[in-house]
Amino acid sequence: MTRLRRDAARNRAKLIAAGRDVFAEQGPDASLEEIARRADVGIGTLYRHFPTRDALVEVIFEQHFDEIVTAAEEAATDEDAWRGLVGFLERVLDVQSRNFPLRSVFLRLPASQGIAERRKLMGPLLDRLAERARKQGAVRDDLTVGDVSMAMWSFAPIFEATSEVAPQAWRRHLQILLDGMRPVGATPQTVKPLTGRQLERAVEALRERYHRRRAAA
């Protein structure tokens, strides 16, 4: 790699790191000039790497999602499905708690092909993990990926409410949810689990509600 390419790669990495920090502090409308300043580059350099604000946010979100996909891949190959499930949830929720200040930035991002492709990778991995956990008798026999997804969604208000007063409180909530996934004491369900398409529509609904609130503000 030539020095010019090394410098470009270094500047790109510095801009992504600075963008993560500034967006977390200032929200979706953070100053791009401040991002360039913290990265110690000119605003022209920022625009050469990221022609739009969304282009920078998309890369930050893709890196965030890559961590989640990696966690799912590792969990799905764990011989002990319960250990894989617990490890996946702990790891992903830790990532989400650290990146929670970026949630409003990510929600504002328009749907992109890169994120859509990563979401498609997640479904089969989590399906495999849930199926193996059921076969091993580690979880209640009606547990689905939809149930796991909704459990994860329940943490957003906890992160928001406790991040400053008790940043590890989410771990207690997780343990209670994990206990509820176990087969011991499971009660029959009368409500069907969400299908894959319903999960997709639920995510879309969350994003649409956020955009409507932003437009009305």
79 falls in which pLDDT band (50, 70, 90)? very high
pTM of the predicted structure, to 2 decimals: 0.82
* 47 and 62 both lie in a single domain: no
pLDDT score for 59: 95
Kindly report the average pLDDT of the chain as a whole number: 90
14 falls in which pLDDT band (50, 70, 90)? very high
Domain that holds residue 17: 1-51
- The tally of CA atoms less than 13 A away on the side-chain side of residue 28 is 13
**What's the total number of domains in the chain?**
2
pLDDT score for 80: 97
Say which CATH number the domain at 66 has: 1.10.357.10
pLDDT tens sequence across 127-167: 999 999 999 999 999 999 989 988 998 999 899 889 888 99
CA distance 169 to 138: 25
What is each CA distance from 24 to 21, 60, 95, 161, in whole angstroms? 5, 11, 14, 16
Q: Of the ranges 19-28, 35-44, 199-208, which one carries the lowest mean pLDDT score? A: 199-208
* Tally of CB atoms within 10 A around 198: 12
pLDDT score for 1: 59
CA distance 176 to 59: 34
Determine whether 132 is exposed, middle or buried from the number of CB atoms within 10 Å of its CB (0-12, 13-18, 19+): buried
Say which CATH number the domain at 10 has: 1.10.10.60
